[in-house]
Chains A and B, each alone.
Chain A
Amino acid sequence: MNIPDNLKYTKDHLWLRKEGEIVVCGITDYAQNELGDVVFVELPQVGTQIRVGDRMGDIESIKTVSNLYAPVSGEIREVNQELEKKPELINQSPYEEGWICKIKPANEADFDSLWGSKDYQEFIEKS
């Protein structure tokens, strides 16, 4: 199970990476492995204002639709449209080619308060 140290994490199994003033997010290696083969991703709309915990999209795997929840408040700046054609990228490359969306956070502190890799590791070991 790959949990890179340079990323932030949420209890909804999303990872986040800061790139300048933008935050990139996707689902973790652990989550893609548990969910199984991803066959469909509904991406958020670019320009949408989101608040932490809002439903921002969905993933379908093994006859199961799972909601994706916003990890930080802000604005959706970009989505990975490649996932519409190749949802399997989430399984093949969860931290790189399988990224889901880029968010401009409304508040820097939202990002800073997210879990580090050790917190996430402990969370999944307990769950």
Chain B
Amino acid sequence: MSKLRVIFDPPLSGFENMSRDMVLLEENSLPLGDATWRFFEWSEETLSIGRFQKTTDLDRYSIEKRNIPLVRRPTGGRAILHQREVTFSFAQTSAFPLNPRLSYQRVQNLLVRVLYSLGLEAEFGKKDDQYLASPYCFSLSMAHELKVGGKKVVGVAQARGKNRILFQGSLMLSVNREKIAACFKDKEKIKKELDQNLLALDEVLDKVPSRQDLYQLFLEIMTEEWAEEIKISSWSEEEIKKGKELLAGQYHPASSFHWQG
């Protein structure tokens, strides 16, 4: 039976969070076949952008005036302002389908069941939106992404290394759309897109469960859905060392990596 390690990280800076996820993508300390699920939080509201996303749509003055850090993710996709959400990453150390829609299915099935347990019926988009039409993740939906009532409630992106795949996901609990729009040059466009396409759980549930209750729900469904040996654990010493190296280099807050392009 393959093993699933589950890590609960305390609130960390975006730079620490992304360097830890890079470790999951690059560090070879886990045996092939095993996987890690990581729940994490942000010590402050942070704007993350996709690995190769251009920063030309961002309003840097507005972002810096609001003291919002910008961090570049290892995964693809578009920008997310991390406010109140359940954030997770999942790294699998095995062969995976080349097709991103198929490789996403395992995580997708879990998310469908989590939403269903909350009384929400998830549906899929009818077709892909124009991927580069908006710089914001929740302005767009790909056909395989989950929606509730026609609006996107969870965003997931992927990165693939050798025999290793990393998913990063955000399930929105509550959002401030004005604040998101303020991060972009075309604020009106973003605000309009978010009104049309983004949904947070507090907009459809009478009471949003606490993060801890949601984590528990994820774990229960993982146990049923994936039938793996689940172990609540932590980082190895090598992983911590590698994470610190990344944080001192590419993922340093002052690194040009984040604002390049």
Contact = CB atoms under 8 A, between A and B. Distances in A.
B248 interface: no
A36 B160 CA distance: 15
A96 interface: no
Interface string A30-43: 11001111011010
Contact of A63 (B98, B156, B161, B162): B156
A52 interface: no
Given A65-B74, A65-B76, A67-B161, A34 B51 contact: no
B52 A42 contact: yes
Interface of B is mostly: loop
Interface size class of B (residues with CB under 8 A): 20 to 34
B162 A61 contact: no
Contacts of A65: 50-52, 74-76, 158-160
Interface in B83-131: 95, 97-101, 103, 128, 131
A118 B147 CA distance: 42
Nearest to A61: B100
A37 B51 contact: no
B100 A67 contact: no
A66 B76 CA distance: 9
A46 to B, nearest CB: 20
A115 to B, nearest CB: 16
A64 B162 contact: no
B77 A35 contact: no
Residue of A39, A60, A63, A69 contacting most chain B CB atoms (<10 Å): A63
B131 A37 contact: yes
B6 interface: no
A40 B142 contact: no
A88 B78 CA distance: 18
A125 to B, nearest CB: 13
B132 A62 contact: no
Contacts of A39: 52, 131-132
A98 to B, nearest CB: 16
10 contacts: A31-B98, A34-B98, A36-B100, A40-B52, A58-B52, A61-B76, A62-B76, A63-B157, A66-B159, A127-B95
Q: Which 9 pairs show the lowest CB-CB distances between chains A and B?
A: A34-B98, A63-B77, A64-B100, A64-B158, A40-B52, A63-B157, A34-B99, A65-B159, A63-B76
Interface of B: 50-52, 74-78, 95, 97-101, 103, 128, 131-132, 142, 156-162
Interface of A: 13, 30-31, 34-37, 39-40, 42, 53, 55, 58, 60-67, 69, 127
